[in-house]
Chain A
Amino acid sequence: MEGLTLSDAEQKYYSDLFSYCDIESTKKVVVNGRVLELFRAAQLPNDVVLQIMELCGATRLGYFGRSQFYIALKLVAVAQSGFPLRVESINTVKDLPLPRFVASKNEQESRHTASYSSDSESQGSYSGVIPPPPGRGQVKKGPGSHDVVQPRPSADQQEPASPVVSPQQSPPTSPHTWRKHSRHPSGGNSERPLTGPGPFWSPFGDAQPGSSAGDAVWSGHSPPPPQENWVSFADTPPTSTLLTMHPASVQDQTTVRTVASATTANEIRRQSSSCDDPWKITDEQRQYYVNQFTTIQPDLNGFIPGSAAKEFFTKSKLPILELSHIWELSDFDKDGALTLDEFCAAFHLVVARKNGYDLPEKLPESLMPKLIDLEDSADVGDQPGEVGYSGSPAEAPPSKSPSMPSLNQTWPELNQSSEQWETFSERSSSSQTLTQFDSNIAPADPDTAIVHPVPIRMTPSKIHMQEMELKRTSSDHTNPTSPLLVKTSDLSEESKINSSVKFPSGNTVDGYSSSDSFPSDPEQIGSSVTRQRSHSGASPDNTAPPPPPPRPQPSHSRSSSLDMNRTFAVTTGQQQAGVVAHPPAVPPRPQPSQAPGPSVHRPVDADGLITHTSTSPQQIPEQPNFADFSQFEVFAASNVTEEQDSEAEKHPEVLPAEKASDPAGSLRVAQTDGKIEEKTAASVPANVSKGTTPLAPPPKPVRRRLKSEDELRPDVDEHTQKTGVLAAVLAPQPSIPRSVGKDKKAIQASIRRNKETNTVLARLNSELQQQLKDVLEERISLEVQLEQLRPFSHL
């Protein structure tokens, strides 16, 4: 070191500063943290600070001895005067003003007052690492100019430089005001009574507002432990330090952190009287995070894709497992991308982790997106999405500067507070105060995986979508298909479906559901089938034969069903109405085949079929769609007439109801009984309207066939019915396209339904084949018996 000549004033000042920094009273070496704070308070750019440190030899030595310290101070003065930093400038620059430090009073207070557990900790951990890597300087710059807005009750602004300054305020009440925040303009300084060092302070004190270097006073008064860590690498009051450290830390943590940490952390902790959240992000930090965010994603409202974020955070050299956990915590909406808030939270967690704080199990409240909104944001682009949560109540408000979460003061606090938070699987942190938040988040069940309340159903999705579509198009008269679809979708809620909108979809739904549901739900299937059958049975019979656009498919889109309805309505009128009524309700599958009597059996059979139980040869094909239609037809034929009068009104509502009524007696037997009844009952009141019409048309053609087959053996009838049903099912399809044009969604839905219908039909086909075989076998056995008897008879 070159010889350093100091003027008397300088000498005095420097010795005071040295004493200030020399909290350990070693008289020889100053605490690095303090020194860094001091330098931060000098409001110099970070790189300048680094340069100073290098020049003064601290880098070399690893500590600030008195001479180094003095040299550093001199260099600070040089830098502040605008002179280039040169070793020789120490002595060459004459008449340098004393270096100015904008000290956070808090810092001083904290130093003097509270226990600096954090200090010792941070010091211990980071001491000795003085010279921050050069890169750090750059990094630090980023956050630099933050205006940390920290509404501290007592806008403290300490001037770090003056050791003599006794704590201006009690730690708890004096938020750090290292930062300058717009909200706390240098007035903060003025608040602090200048004591001993007063004279020193005044010249320096009020540099705030302008801190070019952005060494915003780091207002982390109460930095939570993580903050401390963060602070520790940024311990220096100026937020820039922190921030710079942060990136540096991410990339390569170094001395800066260590130096800063000790003092700042302690101070911050202490200061956090008002803030009790250890995980709050200070303004400086936030600004820093925002800057980092912009380097990756210029649009503050945009997202950082997962891959970019991964690269970025990998630079922090944390283990992948921890990074993975951090990601889980911070990706609030689980979308694989980070919004600004999420990014800040993640960054904050990385910082914390780097500083040795353990990662919480759940995302701390202060890091939740809403909190970020609360934060003030003057500088931060609020995430619109998160705004909702802001309620966070208590913490956010008052003290923290509008946007800054304050750091907790101590480790213990952090731990405790972490535990205090309720955590919903890392997504929501419900602090008691965040009632609003809770109400928003609490309901989010793990299934949703998104904050928004829109659950995504999987299985039921189709069904629900259908239902929704159905409802949507209900205005039109729901197609037989749509109702059917609806029904199918909701196996478990068959009854509900029936009663509700589903009726139209009843058949479809049933059919669909039956096709969808595994045999494990035979009942449902059966019921669905029965419903469908009832539809089919009821309608066709009474409606006039005009070839109703066969809409057997339960899966028909509503649009198609609508068409059907309309078509039928036009053609069939009453009967159709009756027919229509059927589909909507969950008509117990009235066996379209023969008269109500046989139909009774049929439905039963049909149900049996549907349920995959071979009730008997008489089972009607159970393809839900088909079954319904066949049932529908038969039923319609047999029952509609009966019911028409009464049911006429109901059509629109409960076609199934009609069917139900008829089949009810007979069909009750069927498994679907309960369901059918429910449906019928339910459907009667209403709902059916949608479904009825659509169903009506399809059954007609089938009906005709069925009627003709009435005389046929039940088996034959069944088969024919099946075929009829098939035809019916197929028939409606053409009508589908009509409505499709109207609604793309309807088209897609209809396509889907058609597919489903196809599968249903295929299944039905197989079932029918099986039935055929059974019937043939019976026939053979009967014939054999007959022959056996014949000889006797002849005799």
Chain B
Amino acid sequence: MAVCIAVIAKENYPLYIRSTPTEDELKFHYMVHTSLDVVDEKISAMGKALVDQRELYLGLLYPTEDYKVYGYVTNSKVKFVMVVDSSNTALRDNEIRSMFRKLHNSYTDVMCNPFYNPGDRIQSRAFDNMVTSMMIQVC
């Protein structure tokens, strides 16, 4: 289940990052950071493509011994990175997709808030709640 969820801005700085508290957060931060390279690679490989859900969802970026890292990029090049624990029964791809979809929807809601300046850290409680629910349920 998602042990870490991060929202990375277009310029590759984090807008939001949250890990399950039990784990060593720094490790996850590092994993997310390194996964950005893979994300960029996949994005460039896509080429001109049409942006559709399929392309938004990048799939498994890279697996490690304990974790798998999934990526998702929006049309505005905002990236969502999710680290899941491999020990849990492998989540189906569709589940990961749905989780990303929820993330995307929540992110859109945050964007709709006129008081949110794009580029700021996301401090929306609703977003937090949604992410927490994803992490909890997963765990």
Contact = CB atoms under 8 A, between A and B. Distances in A.
B130 interface: yes
A62 B97 CA distance: 63
B86 interface: no
B124 A324 contact: yes
A310 B60 CA distance: 40
B77 interface: no
Nearest to A520: B93
B94 A449 contact: no
Interface in A506-558: 516-518, 520-521
B112 A336 contact: yes
A730 interface: no
B93 A521 contact: yes
A447 B101 contact: yes
Given A446-B102, A458-B104, A492 B94 contact: yes
Nearest to A322: B115
B53 interface: yes
Interface residues of A, number: 34
Contacts of A472: none
Interface string A338-378: 00000000000000000000000100000000000000000
B27 interface: no
A542 to B, nearest CB: 35
B106 interface: yes
Given A447-B105, A449-B105, A331 B116 contact: no
Contacts of B129: 425
A461 B114 CA distance: 28
A324 B53 contact: no
Interface in A301-341: 306-307, 309-310, 320-321, 323-325, 327-328, 331, 334-336
Contacts of A517: 54
Interface string B101-139: 110111011001111100000011110011001000000
B52 interface: yes
A488 to B, nearest CB: 10
Interface of B is mostly: helix
Contact of A446 (B52, B53, B56, B105): B105
A451 B38 CA distance: 37
B62 interface: no
B16 interface: no
B36 to A, nearest CB: 20
Interface centre among B101, B104, B112 (most CB of A within 10 A): B112
Nearest to B129: A425
Nearest to B106: A446
A328 B104 contact: no
Contacts of B59: 518, 520
Nearest to B133: A446
Contact of A458 (B56, B106, B130): B56
B64 to A, nearest CB: 18
Contact of A324 (B97, B101, B106, B115): B115
A327 B125 contact: no
Given A324-B124, A459-B97, A755 B50 contact: yes
A461 B97 CA distance: 13
Given A425-B126, A520-B59, A306 B114 contact: yes
Interface string B25-62: 00000000000000000000000001011101101100
Contacts of A112: none
Contacts of B52: 459, 462, 516
A520 B113 CA distance: 36
A426 interface: yes
A309 B115 CA distance: 9
A594 to B, nearest CB: 34
A435 B45 CA distance: 51
A459 B114 contact: no
B53 A310 contact: no
A462 to B, nearest CB: 7
A243 to B, nearest CB: 24
Contacts of A361: 125
Nearest to B111: A336
Contacts of B130: 425, 446
Contact of B116 (A309, A324, A335, A448): A324
A335 B101 contact: no
A232 to B, nearest CB: 26
Contacts of B124: 324-325, 328
Nearest to A338: B114
B54 to A, nearest CB: 4
Contacts of A460: 53
B112 A325 contact: no
Given A334-B112, A458-B101, A459-B57, 9 more contacts: A307-B114, A334-B108, A334-B109, A425-B130, A426-B125, A446-B105, A446-B106, A458-B104, A518-B93
Give me the 5 closest cross-chain CB pairs, A-B, nearest first: A459-B53, A306-B114, A324-B115, A336-B112, A310-B114
18 contacts: A306-B113, A307-B114, A324-B116, A324-B124, A325-B125, A328-B124, A334-B112, A335-B112, A425-B129, A426-B126, A446-B133, A448-B105, A449-B105, A458-B53, A459-B52, A459-B101, A462-B53, A755-B50
